[in-house]
Every structure is written in C-alpha cells, then in structure tokens.
Amino acid sequence: MELFCSHNFFVYLQKFGIDMKKLFLTFIAIIMGFIGLAQNQAIGGLDKIKINIILKAQSDAVALNRMADVFSTKAERRDFVVNTLKHQAEESQADLINHLNDLKTNGLVEDIRPLWIVNSVSCYAEGWLVDELAKRDDVLAVYQVDEFQCVESEDVDASVERGDGREIAENVTKVNADQVWALGYTGEGVLIGLIDTGVRLDHADLQGNLWDGGAEYPNHGYDFYQHDNDPSDTHGHGTHVAGTIVGNGASGTQTGVAPDAKIMVLKVFHGEDNLTEPTMWVEAMQFAVEHGAEVLNMSLGQPMPSASIKLMMRQACDNTLASGVVAAICAGNFRQMSGLSPKPHNIWSPGDCPSPYLHEDQMVNPGGTSCVISVGAVDFNDAIASMSSFGPSTWTDVAQYNDYPYSSGSSTSIGLIRPDVCAPGVNVKSLDWSSTSGYCLKSGTSMATPCVAGTIALMLSKDHELTPERIDEILENTAVKLSVHKSNDFGSGRIDALAAVIAIDDDDVEEIDNDGFVIYPNPATDVVYIKNDDTETMCTSSLQMYSIDGKLIKNCVPNHNQIRIDDLEHGVYILKIETANGYHYKRILK
C-alpha cells in the first residue's frame, strides 16, 4: 500500500505550512486505529500477538450506579463498586484463565493479565488461537492489540524563561484559579491519577505534590508498559501536564491550577518513541480507582478506534463513573485532519465517551452516561485552537450501546455533543522534563485537559463528596459561553474555576440553570411539586420522566402541580416539561 509517497504531494502540503512529521504520525495513528478487529473476527499468523478477550459477563453500569447510590460517602461507594466488579471478574474469568494457563504450559500463551474494571483478559498468544478463543460461549469479543505512537502535542519552544518569583502562568489566571486560592481552596487533600508518559519525579515544582504510595509504590506510581515501579518521564508530555495540575511555582512560575493537590503517576507509554495502547490505559484507570484517586487526567486517546476498542473504553468509563470517580479526557488534536476523520469520527477515544451529566441541549438525543468530561482547547482570546478535535461522536457502531445516533443535518439525531467544556491549550507554559527547574511551552488539547482536572481538584477541596455528575453539571453551567448552545467546538464553553467553586454552595441545580421552574423537594421520596411563576413558560401539556441513561420511564400528568414518584427506584431522573416556548429539563433525585 502506498502511503502518500508522491514528492509533489508533500511539496503541495508544505506550501500550506503543514508539518510533515505530524501529518505522517497522524496518518499512522489512523491506520493503527483500523487494526483492532471487530468482535470475534479471526486473526491469522503463527507468531505471538497481544490480544484482548472481552467476556460476555459485563456489569450493568446503570444498575451498579443505583445500587451504589445507597452509600453515604464516596469512599464507601468506591469500595462497594470495586469489590462487586472484582467478584464478577473472578467468577466469570475462572474457566478462561484456567484454559489460558494450560496453553501457557505448552508455550502457546504468555503474560496473562486479567482486568476487572472491564471484565477482560489480555495476553500474548499464537495468532491461530484467536479462532478458538472467539468461539467460547463466555467470550464476547477478541481483538488484536497494536501499539501506536500517539500524535504529540505541539512544542512551541524548547524552553522559556523562569518566572521572577511572582509570576502565575496565563492559563491559570485566565480561568480565575488564583482567585479560588484566595478563598482558601487549593486542591489540598485531592488525589489525581495522571495517566500519561510519566513525570520527572525530581522536578522542583512537583516536590510535595506526588502521591505517597508507601513501600509498595515508592516512586509515587507505576509503569504499566514496563510493569515496574519506575514511572519516570522519558518524553516530557506527562511532566508538562502534571505541572498544569499541581506545579507549585518553586522555580519561579506558578503553573499549577491546584498547587496543593497530589499526583499519582501512572505511566502508559514506552520511552522516547511514545508507544502505547489502550489496554494499558484501562489497567491504569483500574489502579487509580482502587488506590483512591478522585480524578483522572487522560491527555491521550485512540484516533479512529475500532468498535472493540470503543466497547472496552466505554465499559471502563462506565464502571469508573459507578465508583464515583470523574475523568478529564482530551478531545484530541485532529481538527486539521477532518478530510481523513470527518464527524462523527474526529474525537479520540475515550474522549468520545458520554459525560456524567446530560446537558439540556443533548436531551433531543439522550443516551447513557460515563465518567468522561471531554475537553477541547482554545487560545487566550477564547478562539478555538487550530488542532482541537470537533464532535459529535456516535455509539451506533457499538452494538452493546447503540446510542447517540448521528445523521448529518438532522435536528434530532445529533450524535453525542463533544467536547463538554474547553480550556486554554495554546502556548501553555508548564514544566520542562529536561531539567529539575525548567519550563516550556506546549499546545494541544493535552494542555487544556489538566486545566480542567486542576479545576475539579479545587472544587473537591471545597466539597469532597461532589459526585461526577454534579462536578460536570457545575463546570458546564458556569463556563464562559462561547456559543449560543452547547456546541461541537467549545462544548458548554471555557471553564471558570472561580464561578464553579462558588456554585458549589448552590445545592439546588434549578438556581444554576434558572428557567422559571422550581422542582421541590429535591431529593424527594414520594411526591415532587412543580412551581412556576412565569406564565410564558408554564407547562401546557404532559410531562415525561427519563432515567439517567435516557430511557423513557413514564408519561406524567400533573395533579395540582404534583407528580408522584413513589413507584420509582432510587436514582437520578430527568423530567421533560413541555411549554409553549419549547421543552425544559429538570433533574430529580430520589
């Protein structure tokens, strides 16, 4: 196959200022995205290949969420979900792992790695074994795992001057994080799982900000590529990202949005060549959830993922949500590659997974939820960054979900609006991995994502019991609007850390998205009341009640402005109210 081998073609692109190295890496990433095979498709060959085996027994994330709602603290919730998923995996994987161990004895399989956050097992196996494994009654999908080189963030300058001891990085002040510090919230007590290229552990601006993993994890995290305790950065991307979350300014510039938070360093890349693959990401997510991270930062993604990879990533993100953990994940840097990856395929996975909170603009085409807050990038003038991937995404290509249908030009099949929010991601100053005190500039959605993760840490330092849904809801409804509606460029807008933290005191969601309706009491047990003093937006006909995953539960006819909900299970519901001016959506907790 010829890969753009015409010299004239390259010359033509260079005239338009297109970076050949990045174009080549992008194209390779797209090709690698097509290699993961559809479920139960055979892979030929005699050499050992890495495969992932997804079992049919997967958790019902909606049911798991509802069961976990009975716990009063996030710690109790996490323990329940982790133990439930582990028990399910242990029982359902037993026969498969016994079979793989028998094959291992005969030299046909090696490096068997079971997962529980997605009920799956990865291993290296002779290629001809895939047919046999795919035919098992307990197996849903088998696909080949191929490493690829992530499309890198853009290095603007190798290094920049240190601050003068008083400087705060521009992206930090742009989102008003420094004003949040003045209120006393600095991210203290919040642990963020950084899934990336590792971190320069001895950088001065990270001292005191790295997770204490005890004797078992003495270097503040783990390397899931080499499977050892050294998550040191040998590339630079992860150190820069870490600096935007927690950089404490020791070398002269305050780069961290949450300077008193802590980072759990989870390395999923190989050395300077920057190779990675999604099963490592899932393994790192599982580690972070089990070891107490409240937030994940994933400035990475799979371009043009196969259905099997999408299935694995969404299942992992569903179960992460059930555990009470939220993830800031980049939308991707594919905006300029729209010819090769047009909508609804421009967003990287898992940034293409749904958010914890369904925005009212999404409710014309609702679907399931997950832990993902998808992040786009803007410059310091709030203009969309030239590389920032655009939505929507769709999940009709994954049979197990089959939601968020997309049809070009449709007013209802709008797909899943991506991203959710945006943040500064152009010429961002943060930590340089090549020295213990340096700084450098980088651009990309990778740089915008940790600004969101740091803002979430500020929010959690004010209220550790905030749920992922509430975090997302506040971020989206307090963002600086850059479009009339939630859009596939900006999401709900550019985040404002100060507005988000202030909004936490406002426990009644109706005061954040005030449209004239008040639902009370909320949470409720048997009956909720609808109050509206605005005659222009009064309910004119029926109401519909939806579950949080978008399923219609029932049609409601108000009786003296009250609705009975005693027949509903505990959980979160969306009330759709029809008025003369259109539809309004309200969240109800039971």
3-state secondary structure labels for all residues of 14-79: HHCCCCHHHHHHHHHHHHHHHHCCCCCCCCCCCCEEEEEEEECCCCCHHHHHHHHCCCCCHHHHHH
d(C-alpha 126, C-alpha 47), whole Å? 5
Cis peptide before 344 (omega within 30 of 0): yes
Q: What is the mean pLDDT of residues 523-536?
A: 71
- DSSP letter string, 403-432: -S-B-TT-SS-B-B---SEEEE-SSEEEE-
Q: What is the mean pLDDT of residues 5-22?
A: 38
β-strand partners of 295: 192, 326
Report CA Rg, the chain. Answer: 24
Q: What is the mean pLDDT of residues 305-311?
A: 95
pLDDT band at 578 (very low <50, low <70, confident <90, very high): confident
**410, 467 contact by CB (below 8 A):** no
**40, 141 contact by CB (below 8 A):** yes
Token pair for residue 183?
């209120």
Residue 534 has pLDDT above 60, yes or no: no
Q: Which of 149-158, 410-419, 537-546 reaches the highest mean pLDDT?
A: 410-419
Sheet with 428-431, strands from edge to edge, namely 154-160, 439-443, 428-431
- How high is the pLDDT of residue 156? 59
Locate the domains of the chain by residue range. 37-145, 149-505, 511-589
d(C-alpha 118, C-alpha 141), whole Å? 12
Nearest residue to 353 (alpha-carbon basis) of 292, 408, 407, 296: 296
Model confidence pLDDT, tens digit, residues 37-75? 333 333 444 479 999 999 999 999 888 988 888 888 999
Lowest mean pLDDT among 8-17, 159-168, 277-286, 437-446: 8-17
Rounded to the nearest 10°, the torsion over CA 356, 362, 365, 366 is 20
Higher pLDDT, 505 or 449: 449
pTM for the whole structure = 0.80
d(C-alpha 180, C-alpha 134), whole Å? 53
By CB atoms closer than 10 A (0-12, 13-18, 19+), residue 202 is exposed
Token pair for residue 76?
């109790």
pLDDT band at 509 (very low <50, low <70, confident <90, very high): very low
Does 149-505 match 511-589 in CATH topology?
no
Token pair for residue 6?
């015409």
- How high is the pLDDT of residue 83? 94
Token pair for residue 464?
């550790």
Q: Which fold has domain 511-589?
A: Immunoglobulin-like (2.60.40)
Q: At what angle do helices 61-68 and 74-105 cross, to 10 degrees?
A: 140
Model confidence pLDDT, tens digit, residues 135-192? 999 999 999 999 988 755 565 555 776 665 569 999 999 999 999 999 999 999 999 9
The share of the chain scoring above pLDDT 70, in percent, equals 84
**422, 433 contact by CB (below 8 A):** no
Candidates 3.40.50.200, 1.10.357.140, 3.90.550.10, 3.30.360.10; correct CATH number of 149-505?
A: 3.40.50.200
Token pair for residue 431?
């930590």
pLDDT band at 36 (very low <50, low <70, confident <90, very high): very low
Cα angle 127, 132, 134 (rounded to 5 degrees) comes to 95
Cis peptide before 450 (omega within 30 of 0): no
